[in-house]
Structure 1
Amino acid sequence: MAEVEEPPEGVDAAVPNGARIYDFMLGGKDNYLADRRVGEEMVNANPTAPLTARANREFLGRAVRFLAAEQGIRQFIDIGAGLPTQQNVHQVAGAVAPDSRVVYVDYDPVVVAHARALLSTADTVRVAERDLRRPEEILADPEVLGLIDFSEPVAVLLVAILHFVGPDDDPHGIVARLRAKMAPGSHLVLSHTASESPGEIMEAAQRGFRASGAPLTPRTRAGIGEFFDGFDLVDPGLVDVREWRPALGGGAAGLPELPWTIVGGVGRLR
């Protein structure tokens, strides 16, 4: 794969980056040699790692489609959005409801630069450069407030991001502060690495993401379920992401067993 063009100012392409490693796993082109080396080491240890990444991405699409089509949600905040790829949130939601409004949030300047370039002509999509570990700044950001009305139901998407928030940063407190801002009828979409994988698989993944400055913290299903305190989980609950409403597209049928387990769910705020 050819090296991408000159990185944005202030970005060190020699240092691997979690979002760009994920982009590599998804077959994207917005990554550098350092990212590919780490990604290749992870794939060598777990050849199905790209399937896990794609399964997680497909879960995101199905969840957004469900919320837009069946729950009438018209505002989405995708926190830890990662690099733009195919079937982004605004594309999936917009295909169901063209009036859907989406704010992408990420702390990575590469992600933000790519997203702003891609979405520069979209009136219903904005991008905010903020860190999940400081939720109050996200909730007060002008880009967020310019598009999101928190007096109405909103979907907050935390897809494959909380497992990069360690216990010292109080991940459950972060979700609670986001929840406190959400109106009844809002939804939380969440996926997270579960501590159910073989030790060598998780060690390889943790080693790779640690090199990118984003240590991976797997959690038990019970611990992940606690993020949904105050929410009612919609069927089928908290499950392997491939098992979450596969009839909506993608899904588990025909896929091999994946040793790296990511579970996901959607909760409705009471």
Structure 2
Amino acid sequence: MSRNLPDIDPTVPSIARVYDAFLGGKDHYEVDRQVLTEILKIAPEAPRIGRECRAWLIRVVRFLAASAGIDQFLDVGSGLPTAENTHQAVQRINAEAQVVYVDNDPMVAAHGRALLEENDRTHFVVGDLRHPAELLKDPVVSRYLDWTRPIGLIQSNTVHHVADEYQPNQVMAAYIDSLPSGSYVAISHLHNPDDGSDRAELAKESEAKYMAMMGSCHFRTRERIASYFTGLEMVEPGLTYLFEWWPDGPRMTEPATGEYLLLGGVGRKP
């Protein structure tokens, strides 16, 4: 562990624990369930969307480990291990793949210690994704990732928690600049189409609820999200709805309104 963390506070919702509640996990408190309850009032499909986010992540890392041949991953803002995790998905494809997780939530850190005992190719770092220069100098990151070879950088549902005052464009540019040629970057992000539609209204209402209860959640336009991939060559189908990115099979139901409020994509650094 690279730094000390405050004790877990069960009276204040945390990003990681709220996502855990959305995914039907058990590592959260009543205050986190209250956030889910409020979101369910305006978006009843929220748990389904949470599961879709995790399914997208697993499809992405399977692609990176298999088709792209990536064997080392930096999963930033990794969250709680509620469902299948990056290391499990990639190590089924390549048992020797190295995975370094990063998070700054104290409950996630506790799980991270357990991950260290799972195998010697899975590691955890306490760090703040808003400070890439500091995070990338962490001795665990530099020890277990070979920065002369391609790396898979995962930012799954993380950048929308970076407020504009922390300049998310510059944050992502710093990560991308640090990556070796041939690396891949995967980002999923909450989306506001900003077109006066019902989807845009739901995005604004959802953002207001999240901000009121958690103080961190920004629905951004497609253009803003696309800018986080600057300098990368996008993998087809580019920046799209999560359910349209390399689906495992034909869709049997129509997407709910809320499913159009998340965009994801993968880019390769030339």
TM-score, normalised relative to structure 2: 0.91
Larger displacement relative to structure 2 (132-141 or 117-126): 117-126
Larger displacement relative to structure 2 (197-206 or 104-113): 197-206
Deviation at 1:252, TM superposition (A): 6.6
- 1:58-109 per-residue CA deviation (whole Å, 9 max, x = no partner) reads 1100000001001110000000101112210000000111111000001111
Q: Is the 1:39–1:208 Cα contact (8 Å) retained in structure 2?
A: no
Correspondence 1:265 to 2:265: yes
Distance 1:132 1:210 in 2: 22
CA RMSD, Structure 1 to Structure 2 (Å): 1.6
> Hey, what does 1:149 align to over in structure 2?
146
- 1:147-200 per-residue CA deviation (whole Å, 9 max, x = no partner) reads 101111001101111011111101010111111111110000000011033424
> Hey, what does 1:212 align to over in structure 2?
214
Correspondence 1:241 to 2:238: no
Correspondence 1:16 to 2:13: yes
> Hey, what does 1:99 align to over in structure 2?
96
Structure 1 runs (4+) deviating above 4 angstroms are: none
> Secondary structure of the equivalent of 1:180?
helix
> Hey, what does 2:252 align to over in structure 1?
254
- 1:208-237 per-residue CA deviation (whole Å, 9 max, x = no partner) reads 354224x21111111111111110001111
Distance 1:43 1:169 in 2: 29
Q: Is the 1:80–1:105 Cα contact (8 Å) retained in structure 2?
A: yes
1:41/1:23 CA distance change after superposition, 3 Å: same
- The aligned runs of 1:161-200 (5 Å cut-off) are 161-196=158-193, 197-200=199-202
Distance 1:88 1:209 in 2: 27
Distance 2:269 2:212 in 1: 34
What amino acid maps onto 1:137 in structure 2? E
Larger displacement relative to structure 2 (204-213 or 260-269): 204-213
Identity in percent: 38
Q: Is the 1:193–1:262 Cα contact (8 Å) retained in structure 2?
A: yes
- The aligned runs of 1:14-53 (5 Å cut-off) are 14-53=11-50
What amino acid maps onto 2:109 in structure 1? V
Distance 1:209 1:31 in 2: 19
> Hey, what does 2:87 align to over in structure 1?
90
1:203/1:262 CA distance change after superposition, 3 Å: same
| Structure 1 unaligned residues grouped into runs of 5+ | 1-7
1:70/1:209 CA distance change after superposition, 3 Å: same
| Structure 2 unaligned residues grouped into runs of 5+ | 194-198
Count of residues in correspondence between the two structures: 259
Larger displacement relative to structure 2 (234-243 or 39-48): 39-48
> Hey, what does 2:63 align to over in structure 1?
66
What amino acid maps onto 1:258 in structure 2? A
1:231/1:9 CA distance change after superposition, 3 Å: closer
Q: Is the 2:207–2:218 Cα contact (8 Å) retained in structure 1?
A: no
TM-score, normalised relative to structure 1: 0.91
Distance 1:35 1:208 in 2: 11
Distance 1:146 1:225 in 2: 31
